[in-house]
Amino acid sequence: MANSASGDSVVDRVVRVIEAFPEGVTSLQLSELADRSGLPLSSAHRLVRQLSEHGLLDLGAGGTVRLGLRLWELVNRNSPTLALRQAAMPFMEDIQQVLNQNVNLAVLDGWEALFVERLSRRGSVANRARIAGRMPVHISSAGLALMAYQSRELQAEYLEQFVDPSGKLTAGVVRHLLAEAAQQGYAQLAGVVDPDTWGIAVPVMNAKRRTVAALGVVVPLAEMRLQALVPALQTAARGIGRQLGD
Amino acid sequence: MANSASGDSVVDRVVRVIEAFPEGVTSLQLSELADRSGLPLSSAHRLVRQLSEHGLLDLGAGGTVRLGLRLWELVNRNSPTLALRQAAMPFMEDIQQVLNQNVNLAVLDGWEALFVERLSRRGSVANRARIAGRMPVHISSAGLALMAYQSRELQAEYLEQFVDPSGKLTAGVVRHLLAEAAQQGYAQLAGVVDPDTWGIAVPVMNAKRRTVAALGVVVPLAEMRLQALVPALQTAARGIGRQLGD
């Protein structure tokens, strides 16, 4: 693979350009893109032009760069989460209808919950779990539900490296939260992300009883009815798991 | 940019590898990926390994290759359709609730409608408009609604090159369909894709009255009530347009 003078490969540079967009930012000026990806303007321009020819980027008038519609199409039509999302969507709609709350679906990626699908109700409480958003395991009910059913080895590895940037939680507390979630069959977190909301999540297990996702809702504290929410979520999670098979 | 012996650049090869996945196929064996992308197995392997290191692909045990969760995340969190989909989603949910039918949102890309969002009801009629699926303008109500409000120049260019692969439609008939849609404020197509369904779509215009999307439903013929469907769609489309601004 060909290397530039600075020693990075073309593949590295392609990745740096795609990664240069901060979360939720859909367009960047070419000069800012060059800055953020650490490339000389001329190299960035050449690379952007090449990627634009293939529709992976979109280079507009005035040097505005966006991710290309073609890239979005390619990634979404063959998404690694396609089967999971297709299996889950009807059940998520059921939950949304029955509970009238925000519903989300997350997978474990590293030590974070990555939200792969979301349904939100207008008028419902804010849900910070955006599609393609992330939250650390220890501050999201989805993350706790995902981690609580992983192997002992993985949990140990997670707790081993655990440091709470806010200094509020110790690994011991997180270990307790995980054990509690595993024992109860659901995870709940009150007011960690938003002071007036409560997150509840349950594991989604495939036919091999491997936890492949977490299904959750975010509800206002005043509407918190665990005895109604948890059975509905668990029922939907079992339905998703059955659809998924192995 | 460095070229291989065959003259294609690294960027070209990256694109060919990402494009090699057929629609809806989420994993390929490395050898098949090499075949489909027209690369020697050794080059394909090296490229896949490099892209895997960055999470753009996922090279699993046994040589199974998938698009990477990281690529999915990067593309979706900064999607070129993010603002449109965020503006549209609550209104699409309203339509789904009120009409109890499949709802979809499409943008014009080339001479095709590219479906960027979809909500489907369990038990409702089949809707072939998948997310990230495409349909030619002339056989989708979304496509007709999108094209009917483009500039005369773009419409002329479209009709100029128009050939119906099935030989059923002439450019003259499509011109008539577009004129009808523009005059009525909506497009409808009965039984073209599925014999027992009807598609209805209306344009979504931004504050500058530019048609940026089409909002549509797919309903069973027996439930076709234009006088109810069209006003609901038009109301929702205006709401989306207002959210979008310019």
Shared domain for B16 and B113, answered yes or no, is: no
Q: Are B69 and A80 in contact (CB under 8 A)?
A: yes
Q: Closest by alpha carbon to B226, among B184, B173, B183, B180?
A: B184
Is residue A108 scored above 70 in pLDDT?
Answer: yes
A208-244 residue pLDDT tens: 999 999 999 988 887 778 888 999 999 999 999 998 8
- Give the pLDDT band of residue A193 (cuts 50, 70, 90): low
A191 and A107 belong to one structural domain = yes
Q: Mean pLDDT score of chain A, rounded to an integer?
A: 87
Model confidence at B233, pLDDT cuts 50, 70, 90, reads: very high
Q: Does residue B3 sit within a domain?
A: no
pLDDT of residue A121: 67
**Mean pLDDT throughout B42-56?**
93
Q: Is residue A162 part of a domain?
A: yes
Distances (CA, A) of B224 to A128, B59, B189, B228: 38, 48, 11, 9
Q: What's the sign of the alpha-carbon dihedral A153, A156, A160, A163?
A: positive
> Which of B54, B73, B78 lies closest to A67 in CB terms?
B78
* Residue in A11, A76, A116 nearest the CB of B50: A11
Claim to verify: residue A163 and residue A219 sit in the same structural domain: yes
Per-residue pLDDT at A30 exceeds 90: yes
Residue B201 inside a domain? The answer is: yes
B100 and B155 share one domain: yes
Q: Would B1 be classed as within a structural domain?
A: no
Average pLDDT over residues B56-66: 91
The residue of chain B nearest to residue A87, with distances taken between CA atoms, is B122
Rounded to the nearest angstrom, the minimum Cα separation between B181 and chain A is 26
- How many structural domains is chain B composed of? 2
Task: State whether B171 and B206 are in the same domain.
Answer: yes
Tell me the percentage of chain A whose pLDDT exceeds 90. 54
pLDDT at B152 over 80: yes
Residues B46 and B143 in one domain: no
The predicted pLDDT at position A184 comes to 95
Count of C-beta atoms within a 10 Å radius of residue B11: 22
Query: A137 and A239 share a domain?
Result: yes
pLDDT at A84 > cutoff 70: yes
Give the one of B75, B77, B133 whose C-beta lies nearest to A23's C-beta.
B77
Q: Do B69 and A80 touch (CB under 8 A)?
A: yes
pLDDT reported for residue B2: 47
Q: What is the CATH number of the domain that holds B125?
A: 3.30.450.40
Taking the CA of residue A26 and the nearest CA in chain B, the distance in Å comes to: 5
Instruction: Say what the pLDDT of residue A5 is.
Output: 47
* Residue where a domain stops, chosen among A54, A75, A96: A75
Is A26:B82 a contact under the CB 8 Å cutoff? Answer: yes
Please judge whether A72 and B79 are an interchain contact, meaning their C-beta atoms are less than 8 angstroms apart.
Answer: yes
A5 within domain boundaries: no
- Percent above pLDDT 90 for chain B: 54
Query: Chain B residue closest to A48 (CA)?
Result: B11
Q: Are residues B105 and B203 in the same domain?
A: yes
Which helix (H) or strand (E) segment holds residue A114: the answer is strand A112-119
Domain C-terminal end among A26, A57, A75: A75
Rounded to an integer, the average pLDDT of A81-87 is 85
Q: Could you give the strand order of the β-sheet that contains B57-59, starting from the edge strand earlier in sequence?
A: B27-29, B64-67, B57-59
So what's the pLDDT on residue B3? 47
Of A2, A26, A50, the CB nearest to B80: A26
Q: Which structural domain, as residue segments, surrounds residue B201? A: 79-244
Does residue B174 form part of some domain?
A: yes
Residue B167's region, left for phi above 0, alpha for psi from -120 to 50, else beta, is left
CA–CA distance, A234 with A13 (Å, rounded to integer): 44
How high is the pLDDT of residue A190?
A: 75
A58 in a structural domain: yes
Same domain for B89 and B187?
A: yes
Residues B30 and B138 in one domain: no
Q: How far is A15 from chain B (nearest CA, A)?
A: 7
Confidence of residue A2 (pLDDT cuts 50, 70, 90): very low
Q: How far apart are CA B242 and CA B246, in angstroms?
A: 9
Spell out which residues of chain A touch residue B24, defining contact as CB-CB under 8 Å.
Answer: 77-78, 82
Rg of the Cα atoms in chain A: 21
Cα separation, B71 vs B69, whole angstroms: 5
* Residue B68's CATH number: 1.10.10.10
B66 and B83 share one domain: no
Do B238 and B149 fall within a single domain? yes
Residues in chain B within 8 Å Cβ distance of A56: 15, 18
Percent of all residues in chain B with a pLDDT value above 70, rounded to a whole number: 91
> pTM here?
0.82
Q: How many CA atoms lie within 13 A of A175 on its CB side?
A: 12
Inside any domain, residue A69: yes
Task: Look up the ipTM and state it.
Answer: 0.84
Residues of B in contact with A76 (CB under 8 A): 72, 75-76, 131-132
- Boundary of a domain, candidates A75, A109, A130: A75
Given this model, what pLDDT does residue A124 score?
Answer: 55
